[in-house]
Amino acid sequence: MWSSVAKDEDWNEDMPENIIRIGNTMTRMRIMIGRRMIGRMALAKFAPGLELSHIDVLDILKRAQGEVTVGSIAEGMRIDPSRGSRVVADMVGRGLLKRAVSQEDARRSIIEITPMGRSLLQEMRNTKMGIVKDVMDGWSEEDIDSFARLFDKFIGRFESRLSPDAEASTDQKKS
């Protein structure tokens, strides 16, 4: 359905066909990710009263190194601190998070995941991995290994290309 779009677009005529296909496929994936289909499916199944922002908070806490504050959660979600505070308060009320005292500074409140929050994260991860496994059903082990390696390499390069440091170095090269 979508693969023929690139051939019709004049602005892509100087690009190699495989680069066009990758770009078009990235667009399709972005649309699916933007709609957060996997997260919505998992929430409907395991936690119908929660919002995707709740899962974002759990994921930020899971990936964090060191103590996490409401401010760092809001920053990680790119929302204002008052909204972050409301989301955290809601999650504390639901038993997914708990407030604790910082070991570094007893005046500071930190946020931690409760066992219920960890359980929900595990269910979300299991759902995501189950979908990936289903999508790859019928692929050879060699294809899966190659795809995993190449996709990781691609995303790593993409991340480094889009990082603020890469932008600064690109700007320096232009001058």
What are the CA-CA distances from residue 105 to residues 33, 61, 102 (Å)?
38, 19, 5
CATH fold of 49-120 reads Arc Repressor Mutant, subunit A (1.10.10)
Q: Give the separation between CA 135 and CA 138, rounded to whole angstroms.
A: 9
Cβ distance 109 to 101 under 8 Å? yes
Q: So what's the pLDDT on residue 168?
A: 53
Of 84, 52, 56, the C-alpha closest to 71 is 84
Residues 42-77: pLDDT tens digits? 888 888 888 888 989 999 999 888 999 999 999 989
DSSP 82-94: HHHHHHHHHHHHH
Q: So what's the pLDDT on residue 35?
A: 76
Residues 88-116: pLDDT tens digits? 999 999 999 999 999 988 889 999 999 99
6: amino acid identity, one letter: A
